[in-house]
Structure formats: structure tokens, C-alpha cells
């Protein structure tokens, strides 16, 4: 059995589908379906069972969950809202829950591949998996940062694989339930269909209108890297998962416009509430990933958005 926490969410459901495509269907999805719309992400997936995240946690804590048949845990579940400022909730949900799964995996020698985030880096402009580069801007980023620090304490005494994957700006199918936290391409697709315009922020942090740059990565690439790590169980560590190149929001908008073959860009004032806590530039340093032999070629914004727009508008 393979366990996927957050398995009804954006990346998690794509991961379940990716496992299905490799022939895995003995999958336990763990999630919280308080947002019932997420069920749609699993309709075309094959799974063995579903458990609410709190029920699953209790089974682990009470030793009533049988670990003997568990091949791996993909821990994708978290509150990923960068605008959530309830730190007590965030640390309980993202940090303490992750610690419980980590120790369960270590106790029973189960590979543990978990989602970290590029939010740990903040605005320093260096995106390398080292403590000196890590300066989270919000409590979400801090919850991910702190769990990475916790895992690092055990580097020399691990009993099974532990891999943290720092996702950059992920976009692609199965994210509509995320609402305001869905990706830029998702929102631009909605805008262009409703108004024949796409809206981007005016310039900030020394960047011209729409020229802020992010490392945008297609969710299919994220899934492929997760599955790649499943095959190299001897590898441990924290790794950036981005394309290794930044592209502008203007390029994202133009890719959406090119798909629809109509539309213009409208620039709107940069929100006051985001000033000082906004990543105007991200670009994954992939040295650590390449140094362990991963030669995977990531899609460009133009390639990934073409695939995504086809899926969204079918």
C-alpha cells in the first residue's frame, strides 16, 4: 500500500493518478473533505481506501494502523494558504502532523517523501537548500521551514528514506477547489473568458509592470519527480523542485492569450497588504537535484500552459 496524504488536493490527486498510471491502485488517500468539491479530483483515480486526516492520525497514535504493507508515504497534506495567519492552527496542521508521520515512518522503516515549499526562502534572492538562504515571509512558510529544520536533526540516524521537496510555483489540472490560492494561469484563464482581459500587478521591487519573475512548474513535472524518488530509496535530503529558470508574469499571460487567440493585459495597482511580503523573484537552484543524478527536463511556461489550457477548456 502507498499512503498519499492530501490525496484529494491539487498535487496529491495528480500524484494518485500518476501512481495509477504506473500500475499502483493499492492507495490509501488521507485528506479532509470539509471542502467537498475536492471529491471531483478523485473520481477518475483508483484507490483502495479513504480516511479523514484526523481519523488517520488517531490510528497512528493508538497503534491501530498496520504498517506492514505500507510501501511508502507521500505526505502532501497541509494548509497551503499564504494568507492564513492563525499560527497555532498552521503549526498544528503542518508541523506537528508532519512530525507524527515522520516518526511513524522511521519507526517502521517506511520511505517518507514530503512536500516542503519555496516559501521558506522569502525575498533574499538565493534559492539554495541551505539555512543561510531561508527567511520565510509568512507563517505558512515558517511551518514548512521549521519541519525541514526538524528533519535535518536526524540526518545521520535515519532508518529509511526521508526526502523533502521544495515546490516552487506549481500550476496545472485539479486545482479549482483552491479558490483564491489557485495558480496564476488558472485565474488568468477565468478572467480572459469572462472579460477578454487578464489582470497582472503593476511593477514593484524594481520590476516593471508584469515583469516580476517566478519559477513556474507544471504539476505533471512535480509528480514525475516524486515518483523518481520512489525508485531511489537510498537517497535522503531536501531538494528544490522547480524548473531552474524564472519567467515573467507577462510571459504567463501571453501564453494564456496565445492559447485563446484573443485578450489583452491590464495592469492593476500592487496591493498594499502584499508590500514587503511578496516574492517578486524566485528561481530554483537545482544543483542538489542534479548532483544525485536527476536529469529530468522540466517544461517551460509555454509548454506547460498549453497543456493546462487544453485540459481546463476541454
- Rounded Cα distance between 209 and 231, Å, is 43
Local structure of residue 71 (DSSP, 8 states): -
Would you give the distance in Å from CA 157 to the centre of its chain?
A: 27
Residue 278 burial (C-beta neighbours within 10 Å; 0-12, 13-18, 19+):
middle
From the candidates 59, 128, 178, 197, give the one annotated as an active-site residue.
178
HSE-CB for 149 with a 13 A CA cutoff: 15
Q: What are phi and psi of 287, to 5 degrees?
A: -55, -45
- Pull the grid cell for residue 70: 505500507
Residue 54, number of CB atoms within 10 A of its CB: 11
Is 142 labeled as catalytic in the residue annotation? no
Q: How far is CA 128 from CA 81, 92, 120, 223, 230, in A?
A: 23, 27, 11, 21, 23
Residues 6+ apart with CB under 8 A from 91: 139, 143, 146
From the candidates 104, 140, 167, 259, give the one annotated as an active-site residue.
140
Is 109 labeled as catalytic in the residue annotation? no
- Pull the grid cell for residue 60: 497512528
User: In degrees, to the nearest 5, what angle opens at C-alpha 143 toward C-alphas 14 and 17?
Assistant: 5
Residues classed as catalytic: 140, 178
Amino acid at each position: 500500500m502507498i499512503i498519499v496524504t492530501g490525496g484529494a488536493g491539487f498535487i496529491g490527486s495528480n500524484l494518485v493518478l500518476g501512481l495509477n498510471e504506473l500500475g499502483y491502485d493499492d492507495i490509501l488517500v488521507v485528506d479532509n473533505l470539509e471542502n467537498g468539491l475536492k471529491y471531483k479530483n478523485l473520481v477518475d483515480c483508483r484507490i483502495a481506501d479513504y480516511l479523514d486526516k484526523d481519523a488517520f492520525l488517531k490510528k497512528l497514535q493508538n497503534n491501530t494502523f498496520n504498517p506492514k504493507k505500507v510501501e511508502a508515504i507521500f505526505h502532501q497534506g497541509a494548509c497551503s494558504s499564504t494568507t492564513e495567519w492563525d499560527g497555532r492552527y498552521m503549526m498544528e496542521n503542518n508541523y506537528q502532523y508532519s512530525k507524527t508521520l515522520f516518526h511513524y515512518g522511521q519507526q517502521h522503516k517506511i520511505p517518507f517523501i514530503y512536500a516542503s515549499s519555496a516559501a521558506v526562502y522569502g525575498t533574499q534572492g538565493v534559492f539554495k537548500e541551505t539555512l543561510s538562504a531561508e527567511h520565510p515571509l509568512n507563517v505558512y512558510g515558517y511551518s514548512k521551514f521549521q519541519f525541514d529544520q526538524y528533519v535535518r536533526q536526524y540526518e545521520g540516524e535515519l532508518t529509511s528514506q526521508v526526502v523533502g521537496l521544495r515546490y516552487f510555483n506549481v500550476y496545472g489540472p485539479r486545482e479549482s477547489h483552491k479558490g483564491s490560492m489557485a495558480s496564476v494561469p488558472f485565474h488568468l484563464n477565468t478572467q480572459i473568458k469572462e472579460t477578454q482581459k487578464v489582470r497582472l500587478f503593476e511593477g514593484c521591487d524594481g520590476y516593471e509592470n508584469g515583469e516580476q519573475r517566478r519559477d513556474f512548474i507544471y504539476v505533471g513535472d512535480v509528480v514525475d519527480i516524486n515518483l523518481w524518488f520512489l525508485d531511489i530509496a537510498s537517497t535522503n535530503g531536501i531538494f528544490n523542485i522547480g524548473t531552474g529558470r524564472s519567467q515573467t508574469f507577462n510571459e504567463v499571460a501571453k501564453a494564456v492569450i496565445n492559447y485563446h487567440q484573443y485578450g489583452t493585459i491590464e495592469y492593476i495597482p500592487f496591493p498594499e497588504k502584499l508590500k514587503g511580503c511578496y516574492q517578486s523573484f524566485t528561481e530554483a537552484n537545482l544543483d542538489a537535484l542534479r548532483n544525485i543524478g536527476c536529469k529530468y527536463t522540466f517544461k517551460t511556461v509555454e509548454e506547460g500552459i498549453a497543456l493546462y489550457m487544453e485540459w481546463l477548456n476541454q
